Homo-oligomer: A and B are copies of this chain.
Amino acid sequence: MTTIPGGSGLADTLTAEGRAVEAALERSLDALLPLLPEGLRPPVRHGVLTGGKRLRPILAVTAFRACGGREPTSIPDTPGGAGDGIGEGDGRLHDLAVSLELIHAYSLMHDDLPCMDDAALRRGRDTPHTLFGEGSTATAGAALIPAAGLYLLWSARAMGVPETDVRELLRILARAAGGGGMVGGQALDLEGEGRSLGREELDGLHRRKTGALLEASLELGAVAAGADAPLRTAMTRYGRAIGLAFQIADDILDATATREVLGKAPSDAALHKSTYVALLGVEGARAEARSQVDLALEALQAADLRLPAASVLEELARFVVERDR
Contact = CB atoms under 8 A, between A and B. Distances in A.
A317 B147 CA distance: 31
Interface string A6-21: 0000000000000000
Contacts of A135: 113, 115-116, 190
Interface of A: 32, 35-37, 39-40, 44, 106, 110, 113-116, 133-136, 138-143, 145-147, 149-150, 153, 163-164, 166-167, 170-171, 173-175, 177-180, 183-184, 186-188, 190-191, 208
Q: Which label, helix, strand, loop or mixed, suits the secondary structure of the A interface? A: helix
Given A138-B138, A143-B179, A167-B167, A174 B153 contact: yes
Contacts of A190: 39, 135-136, 139
22 contacts: A35-B178, A36-B179, A37-B184, A37-B208, A39-B187, A39-B191, A115-B133, A136-B187, A143-B179, A143-B187, A146-B149, A146-B173, A146-B174, A146-B179, A146-B183, A147-B174, A149-B149, A149-B174, A153-B167, A153-B171, A153-B174, A163-B166
A101 to B, nearest CB: 16
Contact of A146 (B36, B133, B175): B175
Nearest to A175: B150
A180 B37 CA distance: 8
Can you tell how many copies of this chain the complex includes?
A: 2
Given A147-B178, A191-B39, A116 B138 contact: yes
A77 B185 CA distance: 32
Contacts of A143: 178-179, 183-184, 187
Which of A35, A141, A178 is packed against the most chain B CB atoms within 10 Å? A178
